Every structure is written in structure tokens, then in C-alpha cells.
Amino acid sequence: MSHIIFEIKQNVGFITFNRPEVFNSMNQDMREEVITALSTCAKDQEVRAIYITAIGRAFCAGQDLGEIVDPNGPSLTEILSSGYNPLVQLIRTIEKPVVCAVNGVAAGAGANIALACDITVATASATFTQAFSKIGLIPDSGGTWTLPRLVGLQRATALMMLSDKITATEAEAMGMIWKTFPDEVFVEESQKIAFTLAQMPTRGLGLTKRALNSSFANTFENQLAVEDVLQTKAGSTADYKEGVDAFLQKRKPTFKGE
Ligand code: T3D
């Protein structure tokens, strides 16, 4: 892999964007590498949480604009159908928690990849911009689905039409991301979230994600039925038994993700 760094440490799959010279904007090879890394994380039992971040001053400036003016490059349709769409689909459907640690500016598809993750945190100096409207495109990578659900229709529309750059603190205040950390403790604090999740009951967390994914399309009654089915599954896991045993025996549980 030449555009990302992928490693597994303490049950966490670390995916680090590594094209700092173009603000980690994505070309086809990079999208494919991210998809491969995510697919590995989905299959590998050792991986119980995923942590996405980047090297350099930016998190990701979205589409590499050099690629779209290349006459031999992929079309807009190909870029979405074989790139950003499967990438964000994987983030949403992998039944393991995905933490995104936004280390700098997140623009265009870069912003919407960050927002597709389960828990998105940012360093205090990071910024977010939808950016698409400034070049005549519409927001993609699931942004038109995700952003209004996070911040409401009015704010999502303004953010998408104006493409204003907002600070991490503003993003936190409007519910776009979970938390902002001071720059000097950002790496440690954001990784702590991933390491914590990786020691929790992985199947229960995965089923929680499945339930949340279905909630927006469901009536209340239908969602109660989803909870019935998924709670039965969670209740059949070894980690559920361990959680209850540990509580009753007044000891710390050891979850194995099974
Ligand atoms: O096929 C399709 O296109 C459909 C899919 C679309 C998905 C999308 O993501 S569309 C949106 C694409 N992204 C953008 O339009 C954002 C473009 N970048 C910016 O607006 C700004 O660079 C930022 C707001 C991200 C950061 O601004 P600033 O002032 O901090 O940095 P800068 O000086 O503009 O950029 C720093 C370097 O990164 C610079 O290179 P240089 O001059 O130092 O050699 C710049 O060219 C490069 N860079 C930044 N963004 C991109 C990029 N290079 C290629 N593609 C980029 N997207």
C-alpha cells in the first residue's frame, strides 16, 4: 500500500491516509487501498475496532482534483460507483465500531467519509468544509444522507450550499462530531476511544450499529421488532454471559468479542 498505512495494534485496525503533499486527497489507488484495508478489518477476527486518521496538516481534501482533469482518469460515475460509495458503505456496514480522528482540514468527500464513521472526533485546530458547491458538484459519499441526520436540514443545507469552513468546536456544538480534543492530547485521547472499544463486547456493538442503521427508515413499532431480534442475538453471545457473570462476581469483565 503506498497511499495509506495499515496496521493492527491491540485489536485496533489503524488506517492512516498518507498523501500529505496533496492534503490526503484521494485518487483511485488510494480509494482502493482504503477499501482493501476496511475489508480486511471486517474479516479479521483480531480487529475489534477501526481507527481512521491521516498524516500531515490535513485529514483529507476529498477528491484529488488532479485526477478528474486527467483525460485518462476515471469518470465521475466510476469514481463514485467503484470508489466513494463502496468505501462509505463499508464504514456503515462493518459490524465493528469505526472511530475517525480528524487531524486537520476535512473537505468534500473527506468530510463526508469522516461523518460516516461511528464516532468522529477532531483536533481543536481541525476544520470542516463541504467544498463541493464551490466547484459545481453536489455533496456525495453519503453526505446528503448523513449530514441532515446529524445537524438538521437547515444547517446541512447552509453548510452544503455555502461550503463555509467551520471549526471543530463549531462542528461539535452542532452535533456534527462527537468531541474536540486540544491538539496536544488529540492523538492519545482519540486512540484511547478506539482501544477502549476494542476491549468491549464487539458483537453487541456491531448489533447496536445494525439497529441504528435501520432506525431512520423504520417506524417506532418496526424498530422495536428490530430490537427484539438483535437483543436475542446479543443475548446469545459469550460476552453477554461474561458481562453478567463479572457484574455479579464484582470483578472486571474480560470480553473476547465472541
Ligand atoms: O469525480 C468526482 O469529482 C466526484 C467526487 C467528488 C468528491 C469530492 O471530494 S469533490 C471536492 C473536492 N475537494 C475540494 O474541492 C477541496 C479543494 N481544496 C480546498 O478547498 C483547500 O485546499 C482546503 C480547504 C482543503 C485547504 O485549504 P488550505 O488553504 O489550507 O490549503 P491549500 O493551499 O489550498 O492546499 C494545500 C495543498 O494541497 C495545495 O498544494 P500545493 O500548492 O501546496 O502544492 C493544494 O493544491 C493541495 N490540495 C488541496 N486539496 C486538493 C489538493 N490537491 C488535489 N486535490 C485536492 N482536492
Q: What does the block give as the cell for 34?
A: 482504503
DSSP E strands, the chain? 4-9, 12-17, 49-54, 58-60, 98-102, 105-107, 119-123, 127-129, 166-167, 179-181
Specify the ligand 1 atom closest to the Cα of 132.
11
Q: What does the block give as the cell for 197?
A: 472499544
Q: Which domains does the chain have, with CATH numbers?
A: 4-198 (3.90.226.10), 202-248 (1.10.12.10)
Ligand 1 site, residue 190, Cβ cutoff 6 A: no
200 Rama class: left (phi>0) / alpha (psi -120 to 50) / beta: beta
**b/e per residue 67-102 (b: at least 16 CB within 10 A):** beeeeeebeeeebbeebbebbbebbbebebbbbbbb
- Span from the CA of 195 to the centroid of ligand 1 (angstroms): 32
Specify the ligand 1 atom closest to the Cα of 57.
30
Length of the chain: 258
Ligand 1 site, residue 65, Cβ cutoff 6 A: yes
Ligand 1 site, residue 63, Cβ cutoff 6 A: yes
Closest Cα to atom 55 of ligand 1: 64
* Site to substitute for ligand 1 among 17, 23, 105, 115, most atoms within 8 A of C-beta: 23
Ligand 1 site, residue 68, Cβ cutoff 6 A: yes
Question: What's the predicted TM-score (pTM) here?
Answer: 0.97
The torsion angles phi and psi of 199, rounded to 5 degrees, stand at -105, 5
pLDDT of residue 92: 98
Sign (positive/negative) of CA torsion 162, 165, 168, 173?
negative
Ligand 1 site, residue 66, Cβ cutoff 6 A: yes
**b/e per residue 164-175 (b: at least 16 CB within 10 A):** eebebeebbeee
Ligand 1 site, residue 129, Cβ cutoff 6 A: yes
Task: Give the amino acid at 228.
Answer: D
Q: How far apart are CA 66 and CA 81, in angstroms?
A: 19
- Span from the CA of 200 to the centroid of ligand 1 (angstroms): 37
Over its C-alpha atoms, the chain yields an Rg (Å, rounded) of 19
Specify whether the CB–CB gap between 176 and 128 falls below 8 A: yes
- Span from the CA of 22 to the centroid of ligand 1 (angstroms): 7
Mean pLDDT by 10 residues, the chain (258 residues): 97 98 98 98 98 98 94 93 98 98 98 98 98 98 98 98 98 98 98 98 98 96 98 98 98 97
Cα of 91 vs its chain's centroid, Å: 6
pLDDT of residue 65: 96
Q: How far apart are CA 228 and CA 170, in angstroms?
A: 37
Ligand 1 site, residue 133, Cβ cutoff 6 A: no
Residue 26, beta-bridge partner list: 63
Ligand 1 site, residue 47, Cβ cutoff 6 A: no
Specify the ligand 1 atom closest to the Cα of 105.
25
